[in-house]
Amino acid sequence: MRALVIIPTYNERENVGKIIPQVLAIDDRIDVLIVDDNSPDGTGEMADELSRSSERTKVMHREKKLGLGSAYVTGFKYALEHEYEYVFEMDADFSHDPKDLSRFLHEAQTSDLVVGSRYIHGVSVINWPMSRLLLSYFANVYARIITGVPVYDLTGL
């Protein structure tokens, strides 16, 4: 079993050096792919440095800021080309806790899809400004009411 954690980055120099080691420590079968959108703060260079010390860390550099969605598409294409069995999406800002990866791997053994949520037990987000947190939370409440989809964090799908 091989798993890939895709982490899109733009100006995440401070976080990338912390999150990659934490993700890799979870399980030896996990690799990390940083998809950097030409961060002006040197995130890509920091990721390159980390990849030189760990063969489980991969880095893709994109020419300009192309956005989160296309970074995930790029990462999923990479995962398919390199035949990973499991693929995870994770933010570099620790709004997704690396410790949850072991639970996801366990649940994936008997499930077709495993989805995490920041809103099942109230709000479990750190490092977000209050405006972003409120927008995300209430957008998910609204979407759940309008669509009837019983998922607490539709932005996590």
State how many domains the chain has.
2
Residue 33 belongs to domain with CATH number:
3.90.550.10
Nearest to 43 by CA among 24, 71, 70: 71
Kindly report the backbone phi and psi dihedral angles of residue 111, in degrees, each rounded to the nearest multiple of 5, phi listed first.
-135, 150
Residue 113 lies in a domain: no
CA distance 59 to 31: 11
Residue 125 lies in a domain: yes
pLDDT over 80 (residue 157): no
Tell me which of 90, 108, 126 is where a domain ends.
108
CA distance 108 to 91: 20
7 and 36, same domain (yes or no): yes
Tell me the pLDDT tens digit for each residue of 59-114.
Answer: 999 999 988 889 999 999 999 999 999 999 998 988 788 998 999 999 998 988 88
43 and 98, same domain (yes or no): yes
Q: Has this prediction a pTM greater than 0.85?
A: no
Helix %, strand %, coil % of the chain (to 5): 45, 15, 40
84 and 129, same domain (yes or no): no
Domain that includes residue 19, residue range: 3-108
97 and 122, same domain (yes or no): no
